[in-house]
């Protein structure tokens, strides 16, 4: 039996078992939980912008009474309310920056977008359950549920490795295509799920894209 056939997509439940994988950023994982994932191209956000955000994160921490030389560590010392403000603010900065479509935007090429589209659906109903997604010129947003608490990370790496090889082959290029560390968030409420579905659907309009510059796929599932 396919693993995904045994999956019942659900909202994140703190009362059930979950795991936190500490890497460049914390990744919360729970079997069957619907997860919002953003994967961006390596050149989608300039280094000077990332360095500026790092300085702003440290300033945010100082303004909230946290003295830390490293913002990831300092973030954990914030109160729950301040941490939510911190995450919301810098998540919005990242999304707004991505929507300016900086970098080479190789996913604007229909051939490259097709590679990603097919890869995202290749193991749907097998390794995972895929929900809505949008392929933007320099990033992807998607909703999916995975069979266990490590499958999400493994699948993201698989998507990035496979699509990078195929797209580099199309363009006669080499090297890193994707930013190594995707962003992921476990969906915690129906209100948040509905918001994220709208966000995915409306992202091309927000970024001012023309038809043909993006690929939007609406799932028949509830997510």
Q: Which residues contact 7 (CB under 8 A, 6 or more apart)?
A: 32, 128, 129, 145, 146, 147
Residue 180, pLDDT score: 87
Looking at the fold, whether 8 and 90 belong to one and the same domain comes out as no
Q: Does 222 reside within a domain? A: no
Q: How far apart are CA 128 and CA 175, in angstroms?
A: 28
| Res 191 pLDDT > 60 | yes
pTM score of the predicted model: 0.89
Strands 34-40, 183-186: parallel, antiparallel or unpaired by DSSP?
A: antiparallel
**29-82 pLDDT per residue, tens:** 777 899 999 999 999 999 999 999 999 999 999 999 999 999 988 999 999 999
Q: Does 179 reside within a domain? A: yes
Looking at the fold, whether 155 and 83 belong to one and the same domain comes out as no
Q: How far apart are CA 27 and CA 189, in angstroms?
A: 18
CA distances from 70 to 24, 55, 67 (A): 12, 10, 9
Domain that holds residue 88: 47-98
**Average pLDDT value for residue range 145-171:** 93
Strands 128-135, 26-29: parallel, antiparallel or unpaired by DSSP?
A: unpaired
Looking at the fold, whether 210 and 170 belong to one and the same domain comes out as yes
Point out the domain boundary residue: 58, 82, 98.
98
Partnered with residue 27 across adjacent β-strands are: 21
Q: Does 223 reside within a domain? A: no
Looking at the fold, whether 210 and 136 belong to one and the same domain comes out as yes
Looking at the fold, whether 86 and 146 belong to one and the same domain comes out as no
141-151 burial code (b ≥16 CB/10 A, e <16) = bbbbbbbebeb
């Amino acid at each position: 039996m396919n693993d995904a056939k045994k999956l019942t997509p659900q909202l994140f439940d703190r009362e059930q078992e979950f795991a936190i994988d500490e890497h460049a950023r914390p990744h919360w994982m729970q079997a069957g939980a619907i997860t919002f994932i953003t994967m961006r191209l390596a050149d989608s956000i300039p280094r000077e912008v990332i360095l500026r955000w790092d300085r702003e994160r440290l300033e945010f921490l100082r303004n909230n009474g946290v003295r830390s030389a490293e913002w990831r560590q300092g973030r954990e010392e914030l109160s729950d309310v301040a941490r939510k403000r911190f995450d919301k603010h810098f998540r919005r900065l990242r999304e707004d920056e991505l929507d300016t479509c900086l970098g080479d935007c190789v996913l604007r090429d229909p051939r490259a977008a097709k590679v990603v589209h097919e890869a995202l659906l290749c193991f749907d109903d097998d390794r995972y359950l895929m929900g809505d997604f949008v392929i933007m010129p320099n990033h992807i947003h998607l909703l999916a549920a995975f069979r266990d608490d490590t499958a999400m990370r493994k699948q993201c790496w698989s998507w990035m490795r496979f699509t990078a090889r195929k797209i580099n082959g199309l363009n006669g290029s080499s090297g890193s295509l994707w930013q190594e560390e995707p962003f992921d968030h476990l969906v915690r409420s129906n209100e948040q799920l509905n918001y994220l579905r709208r966000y995915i659907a409306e992202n091309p309009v927000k970024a001012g894209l023309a038809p043909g510059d993006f690929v939007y796929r609406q799932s028949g599932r509830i997510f």
